[in-house]
Structure 1
């Protein structure tokens, strides 16, 4: 049973087992109230400043169709927070569904603005071999919003269970209504863990405020992930515990680059 201590939910081993079962079955699960509101507010304020800076840099934002963007977060405060990227609840869930060692490969934000539209239904990854062979959970996206996600500001939409179907079969079931394209509404502090193989899309933001959604990517240690990257400053990297260093697939630099050119542009399969 999930308990709340000081307004923050605490998760038992039984809770994590249930979430892992749901993730395997549906391709998605929600962990309510995992992060404190103060943390979300700090991230939201820092993100707003960062986005304005990136807007003025050539290639500083990756387009995600009309009025929708993606940007990589720099590994600095408040984003470089071990309580987020190595959160014990998230790690406990990942350890239940990944069969081997895993690494973190991505830290970014997806943000639709007013004027955005429905994305084409897609997957973020290809199957390991072919659609004919059911692919285990070899990569996962961990998302959390920096604002409340409502029906009006562009909720993430996904068809449950399509991560284990042939792509064309899943699309037919969605088109017929047999499997609904479900909207996921979230409160600040909630965390979503999902399979990138499940059929999904972004929906329109009809409000005059952006809807930033953080994405942390984790994958089996052998998976090649050329489209996303992490860069850590050496002094910060050296301060981390060995098990955290081993979990991060990253470049280590003496100083972080002043400007970032986004390379994660092609994202649909």
Structure 2
């Protein structure tokens, strides 16, 4: 079976390989998944939205110096089931999640000029303790709206640390036994990663923001009060039932014009 999106084709064997990498390394990289024209549409809409939110109280969540978090409104072009229900992405999630899962987050991480290295951290805690390996119960799907280079703040992660106790992972990273790897990406590339893997943002030394989209998927039982989705009813009702069930969201008659960001504490 071949799953096709845009110009990218993936066989079942390739999806198996990507799922195996995700389980082993805590991350997999899917090159050229999204069409460049789609990314250009998102980038244009992002630029206008970012400028608008900068002038709204609470319109951006601070993420340390010159780094921000922005939740996307559920409107075009962001409301696109070819993206949030992409068959290649869901094909991988189906292989690593052992129960039903939900989409709970659609947002962007945005380092700007003047940002610095973040403290190495996790986005989630282990389910029980560091002494018990946590399965993949939450995943972040990321794709950039610009080329990610060494200069504009590439995401950095230490492979395999999602299955290690936190302190053990930090010792290995500091000793150079496990490198903090920079992930350089082209528009259209996608990563799927475990938020338990040790990672950090790096400095953006350019004059332009570096927006990285994040779609958060979690097991159906996980409580996620820090993030939320709000969908207009007229769009929600056009979705097939299985996608409605996949979205953990509030359905409203009209989207709020001004909504303050609340996802500020994010490091563990």
TM bracket (short chain): over 0.9
Is 1:96 equivalent to 2:95 in the alignment?
A: yes
Relative to structure 1, the CA distance from residue 193 to residue 62 in structure 2 (aligned partners, 3 Å threshold; closer, same or farther) is: same
> 1:124 corresponds to which residue?
123
User: What is the SS of the residue equivalent to 1:144?
Assistant: strand
Match of 1:138 in 2: 137
Counting only pairs closer than 5 Å after superposition, residues 128-207 of structure 1 correspond to structure 2 as 128-207=127-206
Q: What does residue 84 of structure 2 align with?
A: 85
Q: For residues 257 and 23 of structure 1, what CA distance do their matches in structure 2 show?
A: 36
Unmatched 5+ stretches in structure 1: none
Deviation for aligned residue 1:235: 1.0
**Is contact 2:110–2:209 with CA below 8 Å preserved after alignment?**
yes
Give 3-state SS (helix, strand or coil) of 2:267's partner: coil
Match of 1:9 in 2: 8
Q: Under a length normalisation based on structure 2, what TM-score does the superposition of the two structures give? A: 0.98
Determine the C-alpha separation between the residues in 1 that align with 2:128 and 2:95. 23
Alignment-derived partner of residue 51 in structure 1: 50
Please give the alpha-carbon distance, in whole angstroms, between the structure 1 residues aligned to 2:238 and 2:210: 33
> In 2, Cα distance between the equivalents of 1:153 and 1:61?
19
Aligned residues: 267
Spell out, residue by residue over 1:90-145, the C-alpha distance to the aligned partner (whole angstroms, 9 max, x if none). 00000000000000000000010110000000000000000000000000000000
The whole-number CA distance in structure 1 between the counterparts of 2:242 and 2:133 is 31
Partner of 1:258: 257
**2: distance between equivalents of 1:44 and 1:106?**
18
Within 2, Cα distance between the matches of 1:246 and 1:53?
Answer: 31
Alpha-carbon distance in structure 1 between the residues aligned to 2:241 and 2:18: 28
Partner Cα distance (2:236, 2:35) in 1:
25
- Distance of 2:58 and 2:8 partners within structure 1: 39
2:170 aligned counterpart, secondary structure: helix
TM-score if structure 1 supplies the norm length? 0.98
In 2, Cα distance between equivalents of 1:3 and 1:247: 20
Unaligned runs of 5+ in 2: none
Could you list the runs of 4 or more consecutive aligned residues of structure 1 that deviate by over 3 angstroms after TM superposition?
A: 2-6
> Per-residue deviation at 1:237?
0.7
- Distance in 1 between the 2:149 and 2:61 partners? 24
- Aligned-pair CA distance for 1:4: 9.1
- Alignment RMSD, CA only? 1.3
1:154-209 deviations in Å (ceiling 9; x for gaps): 00000000000000000000000000000000000000000000000000001111
List per-residue Cα deviations over 1:51-98 (Å, max 9, x = no partner): 111011100000000000001000000000000000000000000000
